[in-house]
Amino acid sequence: MTMDLFESVADPQPSQEKIAEGAMLSRGFVGSLDAELIGIVRDIEAKAPFRHMVTPGGFRMSVAMTNCGSAGWITDLAGYRYGPNDPETGKPWPVMPPLLRDLAHRAADRAGFADFAPDVCLINCYVPGARLSLHQDKDELDFGAPIVSVSLGLPAIFLFGGLKRSDRTRRFRLEHGDVAVWGGPSRLIFHGIAPLAEGEHLLLGRQRINLTFRKVR
The Cα 134–Cα 116 span in angstroms is: 25
- DSSP-derived letter for residue 92 is B
Type of residue at 159 = L
pLDDT given at position 14 = 76
As a whole number of angstroms, the distance between CA 28 and CA 12 comes to: 8
**pLDDT value at residue 5:** 38
The CA angle 174-176-182, to the nearest 5 degrees, is: 45
Segment-wise mean pLDDT, segments of 10 residues, the chain, 217 residues: 37 81 97 97 98 95 98 95 96 98 98 96 98 96 95 98 96 98 98 98 98 95
Q: Say what the pLDDT of residue 12 is.
A: 57
Residue 200: what residue type?
E
- Max CA pair span of the chain: 51
- Give the pLDDT score at 62: 98
CATH class of 16-49+96-214: mainly beta
Instruction: Characterize 67-101 residue by residue with b for buried, 16 or more Cβ atoms within 10 angstroms of its Cβ, and e for exposed.
Output: bbbbbbbbbeeeeeebeeebeeeeebbbebbeebb
What's the Cα-to-Cα distance from 100 to each of 44, 121, 135, rounded to whole Å?
Answer: 12, 8, 24
For residue 142, what pLDDT is reported?
84
Residue ranges per structural domain of the chain = 16-49+96-214
Q: Which residues of 137-160 are buried (b: 16+ CB within 10 A; e: fewer)?
A: beebeeeebbbbbbbbbbbbbbbb
Q: Which amino acid is at 179?
A: V
Q: Identify which of 189, 217, 140 has the alpha carbon closest to the alpha carbon of residue 24.
A: 189
Percentages helix, strand, coil for the chain, rounded to the nearest 5?
15, 35, 50
Q: Strand, coil or helix: what is 36?
A: helix
Q: For residue 196, give the nearest of 166, 151, 136 by alpha carbon.
A: 151
